[in-house]
Amino acid sequence: MDHFHFQAGALHCENVPVAKIAETVGTPAYIYSKATFLHHYRAVHDAFAALDPLICYSIKSCGNLSICNLLKSAGAGFDIVSGGELARAQAIGADMSQIVFAGVGKSDEEIEQAIDAGVGWFNVESEAEMENLITISRRKRVRTRAALRVNPDVDPRTHRYTSTGKKESKFGVDLERGRRFFDAYGRDAAVHLCGIHLHIGSPVNDIAPYVGAITKGIDLIDALRADGFDIDTIDIGGGFGAHYRDTEAPPAVRYAEAIVPLLKDKRLKVIMEPGRSIAANAGILLTRTLYLKQSGDRDFLIVDAGMNDLLRPALYEAYHFAWPVAPRAGFVPKDRASAAQLPGLKLMDIVGPVCESGDFLAKDRMLPPMQRGDLVAVYSAGAYGMSMASHYNSRPNPPEVLVDGDDFRVIRRRETYDDLMAAERL
Ligand code: LLP
C-alpha cells in the first residue's frame, strides 16, 4: 500500500527516517515515496493489461515536475485540465499525443496552446465548446481529435463536491443528448469526434458506479456505431480510491475484474485517468507541534501546517490519518485501524496556525501523549495536497521531497517571502 513504516520506533519513508528530512528541509514539508508512486502506477497498469490502456496520470492530483517525469518514465500519458498543466507536461517533454485535455471551461488561448502542442484528445464538455473547438481548428487548419464527455447519471456515493457524473453536475452532456451531439458534430472535417469520455467522481470506492457508467457508455457507442459513426476510443476517467482511514480502497485488480470484461473485444482504445489512486498514499505532510492548548473541554495540538498547506479536511471534512513520527514507547501503531485503540491515548484536534475555525488537519483523534516540538505525519496527502495549497495568510508553500531508497532530494524548494510577493507591484 505504501512505503511509510515504523522502524525502530521511528517513521521512515522507504529507508529514510522522516525526522532526518525535517532536519534538512524544516517543516511543514511534503514527503513522497518514489517506490509507492511506481507501485500504484504498476498496479493499475498490470490489473488492466488485458485492455492495453493508455494510462493518463491526472496532473491535478500531484503535478510536481519530478513526479510527472517519474510517471512519464514509467510509461504514463497525462490528463490535463488547464494551460498550466499543459505547460508542466511540455516542461518534462511528455509525448503530446498521449495527452487528454478535459475541463468545462477551456479558454480560446488554452485551446490554441493545446492544438499547437498537438495534444491527443480534447474531451469536450458542451455544444458551445465543440463549436469553439471547430472554429479554432478550422482557423488553424489542423484536424483535432475529440471525445464527448457524457454524464451517465450514476451516483458515485462520494462527497457532493467531488461527484461529477450526476445529471445535475456541470460536467459533460446528458447521455440522451449524446446521439444528437454526434448528429450535429460527428461528421465535422476539422474535429474528428471519435470517442466518449466518462468521469463519475472521486474517490469512488464502489465498483458498481463504474459498471453502471461504462455499461451506459458502451450502449451509447453501440448506438452511435449503428448510426454510422466511427467510434474508436473510450476514456473511463479516474476516481479510483486510495487508503485514508485504513485499507478501505479496493485494489486496482478489483476494479479491473469488473471493468475489463465490459470493454474487452469492443474494438476500443481505452484511456484511464487515475490521479489519487497513484499519488495519495505516496505522500505525507510532515508538520511540527508548536503548542498544546486546552479550550473549553477540547484539547488542541497546534502544528505548523494549516489549511493553506492541506485543504482537504477544511473543504471536504476529509479524513487523513495522523500520528507522531517518533511516538513514545508503547505508542507505535501496528496499523491505522487499531492505532486509536491503544491504551493511554487522549482525544485531540490537530489544528493549524491559520485564522479560521475550519483550519484543522484532524478532528476528534485519539493521540499519544505529545509535547511541543514533536513531529506529526499527516498520511495519504500525496494527492490534492500540494496541488491545492494556497498562500492564505501569506504563508509560503512548503517544500516537496522525493525519497528513493536510502536517498532523498528536494523536488520543490520551500518558498520565500520574496516568492510570495514576486508577481506584485508597489
Ligand atoms: N479525470 C477527470 C476528468 C477529473 O476531473 C479528475 C479529478 C480525474 C480524472 C482524477 O481523479 P482521481 O483519480 O484523482 O480521483 N480535490 C478533490 C478531488 C477532485 C477531483 C477532480 N477531478 C479531493 O481532494 O478529493
Residue 156 has pLDDT above 90, yes or no: no
pLDDT, tens digit, for every residue of 99-150?
999 999 999 999 999 999 999 999 999 999 999 999 999 999 999 999 999 9
Distance 239 CA to ligand 1 centre (A): 6
Contact call for residues 316 and 57 (beta carbons, < 8 A) = no
184 forms beta bridges with none
CATH classification of 34-279, choosing from 3.40.50.1000, 1.10.10.10, 3.20.20.10, 3.90.380.10?
3.20.20.10
What is the pLDDT, as a whole number, of residue 165?
67
Nearest to 390 by CA among 316, 305, 331: 305
For the annotated catalytic residues, the residue numbers are 355
pLDDT, tens digit, for every residue of 302-352?
999 999 999 999 999 999 999 999 999 999 999 998 999 999 999 999 999
Identify the burial level of 214 via C-beta atoms within 10 angstroms of its C-beta, where 0-12 means exposed, 13-18 middle and 19 or more buried: buried
pTM beyond cutoff 0.85: yes
| 205-to-200, 201, 240 alpha-carbon distances in Å | 12, 10, 7
Residue 158 has pLDDT above 80, yes or no: no
Distance 237 CA to ligand 1 centre (A): 9
Grid cell digits, residue 383: 494527492
Distance 274 CA to ligand 1 centre (A): 8
Distance 115 CA to ligand 1 centre (A): 24
Residue 172 is given by DSSP the state S
Nearest to 29 by CA among 408, 377, 416, 366: 377
Identify the burial level of 52 via C-beta atoms within 10 angstroms of its C-beta, where 0-12 means exposed, 13-18 middle and 19 or more buried: exposed
E strands of 128-190, at which residues? Answer: 144-151, 173-174
Q: Directed axis angle between helix 34-47 and helix 65-74, to 10°?
A: 40
What is the pLDDT, as a whole number, of residue 241?
97
Q: How many Å apart are CA 114 and CA 145, to the nearest integer?
A: 11
What is the pLDDT, as a whole number, of residue 339?
96
Atom of ligand 1 nearest to the CA of 159: 25
Pocket of ligand 1 (CB under 6 A): 58, 61, 79, 102, 162, 199, 202-203, 237-240, 273-277, 312, 383-384, 388
Element (H, E) at 419: helix 417-421
Any idea where the domains of the chain sit in the sequence? 4-32+280-421, 34-279
Nearest to 401 by CA among 282, 277, 281: 282
Category of 47 on φ-ψ map: left (φ > 0), alpha (ψ -120 to 50) or beta: alpha
Distance 397 CA to ligand 1 centre (A): 22
Q: How confident is the model at residue 38 (pLDDT cuts 50, 70, 90)?
A: very high
For a substitution probing ligand 1, which of 276, 285, 312 has the most ligand atoms within 8 Å of its CB?
A: 276
What is the pLDDT, as a whole number, of residue 168?
74
Nearest to 43 by CA among 314, 252, 323: 252
> In this structure, which residue's CA is closest to atom 8 in ligand 1?
238
Atom of ligand 1 nearest to the CA of 311: 24
Residue 200 has pLDDT above 70, yes or no: yes
Q: Which CATH class is domain 4-32+280-421?
A: mainly beta
Atom of ligand 1 nearest to the CA of 275: 14
pLDDT, tens digit, for every residue of 201-240?
989 999 999 999 999 999 999 999 999 999 999 999 999 9
Nearest to 25 by CA among 225, 288, 346: 288
